Amino acid sequence: MSIRKEAQESDFLREVSLFDGMQDKALSQIFKLGKVQNYASGQVIIKEGQEGGNIYIMIKGKAEVSVKNPAGEKFLADLSRGSIFGEMSVFDAVPCSATVKAREDSSVHMIKGDVFKKFLKKNPDIAYDVFCTLIRLISNRLRRINLAFSMLEFSSR
């Protein structure tokens, strides 16, 4: 019976792009690395500038990503079930680049970065899949940013 419960608890990981195509056994192992944290609506999950190093995955609820700018706060994105954030700080050791705040009561699965990196070292096949997916995700983000800048450049002429 615990296997079935465990599978249900880790089901949301199938919706996380970083873990695309992973076997259920690997997803179950990844789930066990972290813990579920609950946040009330309006509560800050991570704050821009704070020390990073953890991976966060939305299980339930909604959150928003924003950054400070001279005019105040700039909204960047909405997060919902399966959204992953904080992952960049695990690998680049740079403070968090944005604030993530719960828009409604939310549950988040948090994995400490050092625990995740140790897991990847012990599981090179999973690490290869994660890094290939991470490179693809970052490349897609960079392409979107390049496109946005090229459109700004074009419209300012």
Instruction: Give the pTM.
Output: 0.82
Q: What is the pLDDT along the chain (157 residues), one digit of tens a residue?
A: 333 344 456 688 888 888 888 888 899 899 999 999 999 999 999 999 999 899 999 999 999 999 998 888 888 899 999 999 988 888 888 888 899 999 999 999 999 999 999 999 999 999 998 888 888 888 888 888 888 778 776 555 5
Q: Which helix (H) or strand (E) holds 69?
A: strand 63-69
Looking at residue 52, its amino acid is G
Alpha helices, H only, 11-105: 24-33, 87-92
Domains of the chain: 2-155 (2.60.120.10)
What are the Cα distances from residue 141, in Å, to 58, 110, 136, 150, 155? Answer: 19, 22, 9, 14, 21
**Beta pairing partners, 78:** 64
Instruction: Locate 157 and state its tokens.
Output: 């002429």
Are β-strands 84-85 and 72-79 bridged in parallel, bridged antiparallel, or unpaired?
A: unpaired
Beta bridge partners, 109, equal 36, 57
